A and B are shown apart, each in its own frame.
Chain A
Amino acid sequence: MRESACECERSYAPNLSQILHLMNSPELQKKIANDKGRLAGMLKDNKPDEQILNEFYLRSFSRNPHPDELKDATAMLASAKDRKSALEDFEWMFLNSKEFIFNH
């Protein structure tokens, strides 16, 4: 008996399950908030917001942020109640962005 009709019947087009995983999975959230993660390391090294954002842009989009992007992002971070959570939210944004998903 065949286990499945044919592997070639599987679809690899983007789908809702993938987006749900990126948006809402405990696995990804654990990685973002991990004590030994990239963000935690940069916070431990007392890196300023600007440098952390630069690092995120390079690692996810392979480019530096545009000046207006950096201005908006640092302003949002400066007004945040909890800096670490706010930076986690930015990290999530990079992983869920079309620029990351489609270009890299």
Chain B
Amino acid sequence: MTIDVHSGGYRCCDGINRRSFLRTGALMLGGMSLSGLLRRQALAAAAGEARKDVSVILFWQGGGPSQLDMWDMKPDAPSEFRGSFNPISTNLDGLQVCEHMPRIAKVCDKLSLLRSVTHGDSGHESATHTLLTGYKPTNDIPANEAPAYGSIVAKEMGPRVDGFPAYVAVPTAPKSSAAAYLGVAYNPFETQGDPNNENFSVQNLKVPGGLTLDRLENRRNILSHFDTLRRDIDSSGLIGGMDTFAQQAYEIVTLAESAGRIRHQQGRPQNARPLWPHFVGTKYLAGPPVDRSGCAFCHRECGRLGYPCE
């Protein structure tokens, strides 16, 4: 395991432990299933309990196409400022977009376009930090000095379905998209693979061959009995974060197993994929609704070579 000793500054936070404790309690009430979770949420909704619900997909085009070639053509600017493409009219009066986005042009009445969001920073890493956290970093190649939006959502709102990571990055997360002083527990979970690939699946969700969920639970019981490294001597908060991950990992595996069983009973292929925010490629935007996913905030890398947005 590689641990970053340079960034430092992580602090553990009360909220983590309290929530982990509550979840542990709930899990102990007898092997919670996905259907059980959904039923509980439905009951809460029926009882009129307010439920915070956030669902954000951030398409992060690091090194992607320029706004001059997409959203803000500046057709009246001198030619040396304009791009080489032409603007077209949209279904929203007064708004023009690039000629290469004809389908976007038909739904512009559904969009909010912020042309005022800007920065004067030509450094990739520092500008990424500014835009993902709202804070200009103090170094040219910054550590994650302030929490990213997704981490704040993860801490304040939690996941949309219990047991999911609240904050997911597809396929990977830039350094600035992390939780900084909120603690590593609110860093994004990276799916690693690209969900648009046919063979995509999130690694290590299925209990490996020869093991059962019961045995995994037994292992966790042994672990909690014998792993007594003192948490209070760790001022970095990393150990507290790892405890949260261990709890999350167990919950995700439990969810994936029960969802796999449900799908198997329905005669559909056994595969953890539909649990995951595979809609985050644009090709899925018109397909399954966002509420198929349990995460609240999804950071989608799509500007880099190899992870194109279709």
Contacts and interface: CB of A to CB of B under 8 A. Distances in A.
A42 B239 CA distance: 32
Contact of B239 (A13, A29, A102): A102
A33 B175 CA distance: 36
Contacts of B190: 15, 17
Interface string A70-104: 00110010000000010001101100111101110
Contacts of A6: 124-125, 141
Contact of A11 (B4, B128, B253): B4
**Residue with the greatest number of chain B CB neighbours at <10 A, chosen from A8, A17, A25:** A17
Chain B interface mostly helix, strand, loop or mixed?
loop
Contact of B192 (A5, A14, A17, A26): A17
A9 B189 contact: no
Nearest to A85: B215
B216 A3 contact: no
A72 B206 CA distance: 30
Contacts of A22: 1
Contact of B174 (A5, A20, A89, A102): A5
B207 interface: yes
B225 interface: yes
Contacts of A21: 203-204
Contacts of A33: 210
B184 A24 contact: no
Contacts of A23: 204, 216, 246, 249-250, 253
B252 interface: yes
B229 A24 contact: no
Interface in B104-133: 124-125, 128
B246 A19 contact: yes
Interface of B: 1-4, 7, 10, 62-63, 124-125, 128, 141, 144, 165, 172-176, 178, 184, 187, 189-190, 192, 203-211, 215-216, 218-219, 222-223, 225-229, 234, 238-239, 241-243, 245-246, 248-250, 252-253, 304-306
